[in-house]
Amino acid sequence: TGNGNITHLDHAVIEYKKDGWITSVGRHAVTTPGCFLTCDDRRDRVQVLKVLKDYSVVAFAYDKRGEGSLTNARDDLDMYTVNYYGLTENFKYALQTGYWVSKKYDATTTGFNSVNLDNIKQVSPQIEGKLLGVDYNFYYTLLFGGKGTLFGTPIYKNDHHAFALKLAHDFEIVKVEAQSIVTINGGLIAGGFDTLSSVINNSPDHNQSSIKLRTIGFGLGVVKKNESVHMLRISKSITTELSVSLGGGYTKILKAVAGTILEEDKIVDATAKYAFSKSLNLAAAYGKFYGDNKDAAGSLTLNANF
């Protein structure tokens, strides 16, 4: 530190490879397929990967999600995952599983956003591919059986679902994308997932959006509420430098994290991007709700990649 400035470690790992096995230990940058379950998170992780002959991958990981008292090894929040990633000529797929344990959770020492994620199980299949000229992406997450709490309220105790299906086709003149996202009983979706709207989610953990107004998938299994976002977006490249998009749809989203009030709205969304070069572009985005929520937000951002 110096002059009040603090330098933080973003991510760094030690990696060892041998005979198709890859072992890494450290602070990992973690993103799941499509950013549906996790998006640009940072995990203190021990990970072992096995690359098979068909280039599919089996992954085992242990994450230290919450550190309690340094003198008590049993009051932490731990996560264990076993994942499989495969691909064929026409599509790629994944099956991810997770288990959270925090049997000796202590709210005074174990800091994880005031959430105790004990005994929660997770299953998440995903598939991305192309069929008859149509690109498709399907993501699903089930959380169940938890004994955890949020400020004393049970979370993820029953079955809590989240899924998204996107279909897209490039007509050369324009590209058309349609997507439906649904959560049941407060299912989980990462804050960075692309909802086809600039103001709903689209805010990765370590590159957060300044114009996000609502988040679908943050019900945390607390309430028996179902959310949905149904969007249609049309995109076009005007020139090699300029691209634009216009979208609209219908939303039903909880007003607050783990809240009880569902807002029903129509939404319009527009973006434009001008590339001055491969490393410099100017991007504009605007989104507005019509209905229970009347908020709007926009941004103008100059992006430089070094």
Q: What is the pLDDT of residue 121?
A: 94
Q: What is the pLDDT of residue 70?
A: 75
Q: What is the DSSP string of 46-108?
A: EEEEEE-TTS-EEEEEEEEEE---TT-TTS-EEEEEEEEEEE-SSEEEEEEEEEEE-TT--TT
Sequence ranges of the domains in the chain:
10-126, 158-306
Please return the burial class of 15, using the count of CB atoms within 10 Å of its CB with bins 0-12, 13-18 and 19+: exposed
Measured CA to CA, the distance from residue 176 to residue 156 in angstroms comes to 36
Residues in the chain with pLDDT < 50? 1-2
Q: What is the pLDDT of residue 112?
A: 57
Q: What is the pLDDT of residue 116?
A: 74
Q: 239 Cβ partners below 8 Å, 6+ apart?
A: none
Residues 211-264: pLDDT tens digits? 999 999 998 887 778 999 999 999 999 999 999 999 999 999 999 887 788 999
Q: What is the pLDDT of residue 1?
A: 39
Q: What is the pTM of this model?
A: 0.90
Q: What is the pLDDT of residue 105?
A: 62
The tokens of 266 are what? 């129509």
Measured CA to CA, the distance from residue 161 to residue 273 in angstroms comes to 35
Q: What is the pLDDT of residue 2?
A: 44
- Architecture of the domain defined by 158-306: Beta Barrel (2.40)
